[in-house]
A and B are shown apart, each in its own frame.
Chain A
Amino acid sequence: MTAAPLHPEVYPVEEDTLLLLEAAFAEVRSDDRVLEVGTGSGHIAASLGGRAARVVALDLNPHAVQAARARGVEVLRTDLFAGVRGPFDLVLFNPPYLPTMPDERLDDWLEYALDGGTDGRRTIARFLNDLPRVLASGGRAMLLVSSLTGPGEVARLAEAAGLSGRALLERRIEGESLFVIRLERRADRDD
Chain B
Amino acid sequence: MRRDLQEILCCPVCHGDLDLAVITEDEVEVLEGTLHCRACGIDYPIEDGIPNLLPPGEGAF
Contacts and interface: CB of A to CB of B under 8 A. Distances in A.
- Chain A bound to chain B: yes
Nearest to A106: B61
The SS class assigned to the A binding surface is mixed
Q: Binding site of B, secondary structure by majority: helix, strand, loop or mixed? A: loop
A157 interface: no
Nearest to B51: A76
Interface string A70-90: 000011111100111111100
B38 to A, nearest CB: 16
Interface in B1-46: 1-2, 5, 7-12, 15, 44
A110 B46 CA distance: 24
A43 interface: no
A84 B51 CA distance: 11
Given A66-B48, A74-B1, A76-B5, A82 B53 contact: yes
B59 A62 contact: yes
Interface of B: 1-2, 5, 7-12, 15, 44, 48-55, 58-59, 61
